[in-house]
A and B are shown apart, each in its own frame.
Chain A
């Protein structure tokens, strides 16, 4: 059984129906506009552990939902 994401509109659906969307975060410590542009363009947080993401229900209601996922296990703790 594949991992399920609870879509607020469609209920629990297989992860394969969804498209991953990152919430990009540029650290405040980067103050130089050039560094900030570089960070926004290329860098990733690539978090190892619990993280909050946006997922798009591509093969479903085609709406976005917010998902809490542990990237070490793919366990989904919350979706809304």
Chain B
């Protein structure tokens, strides 16, 4: 983070003390939001957030900023709808401009099966509190006039679902707002402080090791993105997580307004326009697991070809930037958050390709769990032990896209 930005938001970095009530590993959105809600909702401020790089340098600054709740299972719809609502009030709560903009999301179907899936999505979302409607071709063209509904003659659009509450926000501002709010209430945030190990005492996690020395903690939360498997393996914990790269790119400025977010599950891509006017295109994860931030031409080639099938306007634009994040994929495409099974250690992981939209709700619920010692009802289905209990939450509403 450069000086210019530091002057805009009042971030006061701390040298970590020797001991805290709560140590949060990872200064991304989820870690900082948990610290923020611990301080604001529960009055717990003896908290440290330790970040290996700079805050928001991982997936919180690499995602495609989509906020939505149109998921495919009741548990997820309820959880993400709560997050969508928290985001709507976040600018007012933190007093910071987060460039939160309601855009609406069109999810297109190209086959009879796909159209049925979108109808089912609309019914399920409505039943569990998220607003989604099924839309026909006429409505789709009204919402997004730039779409080629014939799909280049190959992927004609049959129909789709429309989720009006979907929004985007500036991702690093979200990170800074939570950091600032937490710091103002006494939370210590330390950058360039890597956690190299977990300290245990009689089977309980009681702190973390850093190159600057050990830090004692009443509770440790792993809010690590990408490297969580290595961290928790230090206490013998195995996770159902595989880390895959996810690439995205933006084009140069598109002169007209492109209002909605458009997604196609069959063509495996989604597009929106950034506040700067760039067209932002995302797609599915790379198939091989990797921690590498390598981005490559094959991805752009595949993705641009598919995106141009529905959005011919992209053909006139140039690719401006491309980047990669590393996503912790769970076997059922649902997050893993709550108790770890080891005393004193909590997890918020498995955020795959759907972590940004969950930041406020994930942070709020993890703070409640740590403060009150009981798993809140909203996140109870997402516990790590669901795999052992045979209660996995297969959610195709998030696989591949977003």
Report A's interface with B, CB cutoff 8 A.
2-3, 14-16, 19-20, 22, 27, 38-39, 41-46, 48, 71-74
Contact = CB atoms under 8 A, between A and B. Distances in A.
B288 A48 contact: no
A16 B230 CA distance: 27
Given A16-B298, A20-B287, A46 B292 contact: no
Those 10 A-B pairs whose CB atoms lie nearest each other, nearest first: A46-B229, A42-B240, A20-B288, A43-B238, A74-B292, A44-B242, A42-B387, A16-B298, A48-B230, A72-B291
Contacts of A74: 288, 290, 292, 294
A3 to B, nearest CB: 8
B239 interface: yes
What band does the interface of chain B fall in when counting residues whose beta carbon is under 8 Å from A?
Answer: 20 to 34
Contacts of A72: 291-292
Contacts of A42: 240, 331, 387
Given A2-B298, A14-B298, A19-B287, A43 B239 contact: yes
B1 interface: no
B240 A71 contact: no
A43 B388 CA distance: 11
A38 B239 CA distance: 11
Contacts of A19: 287
A42 B333 CA distance: 12
Contacts of A22: 289
B230 A73 contact: no
B60 to A, nearest CB: 20
B289 A41 contact: no
A22 B329 CA distance: 15
A5 B387 CA distance: 35
A56 B181 CA distance: 50
Contacts, number: 55
A41 B331 CA distance: 9
A7 to B, nearest CB: 15
Given A2-B296, A2-B297, A48-B227, A15 B288 contact: yes
B241 interface: yes
A20 B387 contact: no
Pick from B240, B288, B289, B331 the residue with the most CB of A within 10 Å. B288
Pick from B229, B238, B331 the residue with the most CB of A within 10 Å. B238
Nearest to A35: B388
A41 B387 contact: yes
Given A2-B297, A14-B298, A74-B294, A44 B239 contact: yes
B294 to A, nearest CB: 5
Interface in B227-279: 227, 229-230, 238-243
B328 to A, nearest CB: 9
A5 B291 CA distance: 18
Interface string B49-75: 000000000000000000000000000
B290 A46 contact: no
Interface string B158-190: 000000000000000000000000000000000
A53 to B, nearest CB: 8
A45 B232 CA distance: 12
11 contacts: A2-B296, A2-B297, A27-B238, A45-B229, A46-B239, A46-B289, A48-B227, A48-B229, A48-B230, A72-B292, A74-B290
Given A20-B287, A20-B288, A38-B387, A44 B240 contact: yes
Contact of B292 (A38, A41, A73): A73
A71 B293 CA distance: 10
Contact of A20 (B238, B239, B289): B289
Contacts of B387: 38, 41-42
B336 to A, nearest CB: 11
A46 B242 CA distance: 5
A64 to B, nearest CB: 15
A48 B297 contact: no
B238 A71 contact: no
A52 to B, nearest CB: 13
B387 to A, nearest CB: 5
A50 B288 CA distance: 14
A44 B241 contact: yes
B241 A46 contact: yes
